[in-house]
């Protein structure tokens, strides 16, 4: 069965992630530093920020009042989505990642990746490329 289209084109294009958080500018700076991307936009009211490298779809950050971070690996407040990023060496990448403000999660279920929490509490993984 063929995928549905509109006028012969995909229904939607350019997928982008938006992470809820209490401080979009701060989280944008964290991920921009982690990925060596640029903070491309911070709204004046502080409710939205974006990062980009000019090659991949941007990642956006949205302020949510009363934000509660996900709990991982538990499901009390499920993560629903998380970022995996590639690194050449887990040991080498860990120090700079922690220096940016990440926290290493105590539960580490694998050998080829490590789970961290960003400054807003979202889980993300450094994975051996």
40: pLDDT strictly greater than 80: yes
Interval 105-122: pLDDT, tens:
999 988 999 999 999 999
Which candidate, 60, 45, 75, places its Cα nearest to that of 15? 60
Confidence class for position 20, pLDDT limits 50, 70, 90: very high
Within 5-66, strands assigned E span 5-6, 9-10, 17-21, 38-42, 48-52, 59-63
118: in domain: yes
Instruction: Give dist(CA 73, CA 108) in Å, integer.
Output: 10
Tell me the residue range of the domain where 85 lies.
16-128
75: in domain: yes
> Residue 24 in contact with residue 47, Cβ under 8 Å?
yes
40: in domain: yes
Which candidate, 112, 96, 93, 115, places its Cα nearest to that of 104? 115
How much of the chain, in percent, has pLDDT values that exceed 90? 71
5: in domain: no
What mean pLDDT, rounded, does the chain reach?
90
In a 10 Å sphere around its CB, with 0-12 CB exposed, 13-18 middle and 19+ buried, how is residue 35 labelled? middle
Sequence-distant (≥ 6) Cβ neighbours of residue 8 within 8 angstroms: none
57: in domain: yes
Whether this model's pTM surpasses 0.75? yes
Q: How many domains does the chain have?
A: 1
For residue 29, give the CATH number of its domain: 3.10.180.10
Interval 73-82: pLDDT, tens:
888 887 778 8
> Residue 85 in contact with residue 127, Cβ under 8 Å?
yes
Sequence-distant (≥ 6) Cβ neighbours of residue 93 within 8 angstroms: 87, 126
């Amino acid at each position: 069965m063929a995928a549905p289209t509109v006028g012969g084109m995909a229904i939607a294009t350019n997928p982008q992630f938006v992470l809820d958080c209490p401080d979009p500018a701060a989280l944008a700076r964290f991920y921009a530093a982690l990925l060596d991307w640029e903070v491309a936009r911070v709204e004046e009211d502080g409710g939205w920020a974006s990062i980009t490298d000019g090659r991949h779809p941007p990642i956006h950050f949205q302020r949510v009042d009363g934000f509660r971070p996900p709990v991982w690996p538990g499901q009390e407040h499920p993560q629903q989505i998380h970022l995996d990023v590639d690194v050449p060496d887990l040991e080498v990448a860990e120090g700079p990642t922690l220096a940016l403000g990440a926290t290493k999660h105590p539960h580490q279920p694998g050998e080829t990746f490590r789970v961290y929490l960003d400054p807003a509490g979202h889980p993300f993984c450094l994975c051996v490329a």
